[in-house]
Amino acid sequence: MIATAASFGIDEALKALWIQEINEGTSTGSESFGSGELIASYSPVDGQLIGKVKTTTKEDYEKVVTTASAAFTQWRQVPAPGRGEIVRQFGEKLRSLKEPLGKLVSYEMGKSYQEGLGEVQEMIDICDFAVGLSRQLHGLTMHSERPAHRMYEQYHPLGIVGIISAFNFPVAVWSWNTALAWVCGDVCIWKPSEKTPLCSIACQNIIAQVLKENDLPEGISCLINGNYVVGEFMTHDSRVPLISATGSIRMGKIVAQAVAARLGKSLLELGGNNAIIITPDADLKMTTIGAVFGAVGTAGQRCTSTRRLIIHEEVYEQVKDALVAAYKQLRIGNPLDEQFHVGPLIDKEAVRLYSNALEKVKEQGGTLLVEGGVLEGENYASGCYVKPAVAEAKNAFEIVQEETFAPILYLIKYSGDVENAIAMQNNVVQGLSSAIMTNNLREAEKFLSAAGSDCGIANVNIGTSGAEIGGAFGGEKETGGGRESGSDAWKIYMRRQTNTINYSTQLPLAQGIQFEL
């Protein structure tokens, strides 16, 4: 018996999120979000049409920017703790709607239901963080060299923040940006992935209700849907001072050039090629769990997914055998059914790229330890289900140097000291996440030192995937250098201003310069 979407309560979830008229090929209650062509959202879980969304035309976009600009003039004058109160209410709405929104994330994107719930929890967590932050948007005071002068710096809202998000985290990454931007006094325009448009409709419906209940302008949160052309409306628009873009390195370079050409600001979260170093002093049971989850979680479609295991030759065979045995236990199927570990890839194009990567592994001299392959049959009718694969390879292989958004794990052997493994780990263009498995304090500290991992995230005895909102999230090199979420990531959403106040009856000049009239 095939489990249908209805049996998992998808229709009920959509209704709870105010998304109506499902599977009728008409609309999703989204007329207010655009007047352009319809784009269809098909679930990779079962290949079924979930709904259709109208895209944003250039004329629609101009209306959105006008609405957002008008809202900004009002929103920036609300005291920051008052803005935090709105974000708190948004977080409470998310708590009440966690299950239906998590279910929609799972069904539209293909990640497990537990991961869908986890993604909504990230939204709730960042709201909590932002509420506290709303009372801590601090500057510094400095002593002036001039008598009877006071110097300080403060932060002001930027204006409109443009957010371009990817399909793999269809709601969380938006919330990382928008919750912080809102408490900073900015308004937001969101261009989600065209592969997961219904998740964006749901989120917009939730925040729109909060804004309406508080008699605040709808332009504080705006949504535009469509392909890359719609994103280009924002990246080339000087009225949008900051573009936060999550996606591929190729996309990020295009966005960066467009925004830099108009001297705007960009926050880029791009590709990862993340490795776990496994030393002779590693706890191998812990290592196996961390490596397998990192490689197959979200079907390998996280920017922090584990792509490479760099394993010392002393424990290489043990790790290899443990992984092959663990992969035999993986269950692949409907992600809404909690008995399965691995769900589908996002679409058939992702399947094609996965299959091409496996062919390249063999062409470039690698060996497949766990073969992989595309799954067929009535339980995999969407054509998006693949088997997680494991390959022995060399770090220098061209395919290993690339990020394939699929569950392919490369085993790479190293010898000698941990410095050799660190050099191999760093020898890729991406610099997002990294990890080392070791009980050796010296190895751990070398990995975390200035001469160690060159990634934005470096973990010891945990895997590469998963991040708490309290820490700034982002990477170096061609990962883009941006930071989102916790720590002081809020500063990117504001402009810094230095102020000097003269409360004397004289006008002394800096550096002791004399000027008399």
Give catalytic residues, as residue numbers: 269, 303
Report the candidate in 249, 323, 247 with the shortest Cα–Cα distance to residue 287: 323
Ramachandran quadrant class, 479 (left: phi over 0; alpha: psi -120 to 50; beta: rest): alpha
SS (H, E, C) 411-462: EEEECCCHHHHHHHHHCCCEECEEEEECCCHHHHHHHHCCCCCCCCEEEECC
User: 223 near 30, Cβ under 8 Å?
Assistant: no
- How wide is the angle at C-alpha 300 spanned by C-alphas 299 and 301, nearest 5°? 90
Tokens 């299959």 found at: 355
Q: Exposure pattern of 56-70 as b/e (b: 16+ CB <10 Å)?
A: bbeebbeebbebbee
CA atoms within 13 A on the CB side of 7: 8
Whether 393 and 412 have beta carbons less than 8 Å apart is answered as: yes
> Smallest Cα–Cα separation from 56: which of 37, 34, 23, 38?
34
311: buried, middle or exposed (CB in 10 Å: 19+, 13-18, 0-12)?
Answer: buried
How long a stretch of residues is the chain?
Answer: 517
What's the CA angle centered on 326, arms 324 and 328, to 5 degrees? 75
Distance (Å, whole) CA 219 – CA 266: 21
Q: What is the dihedral of CA 422, 423, 427, 429, to 10 degrees?
A: 60
| 3-state helix/strand/coil string of 28-96 | CCCHHHCCCCEEEEECCCCCCEEEEEECCCHHHHHHHHHHHHHHHHHHCCCCHHHHHHHHHHHHHHHHH
3-state secondary structure of 398: helix
- Which secondary structure element, helix H or strand E, spans residue 375, and what is its range? none
352: part of which helix (H) or strand (E)?
helix 348-363
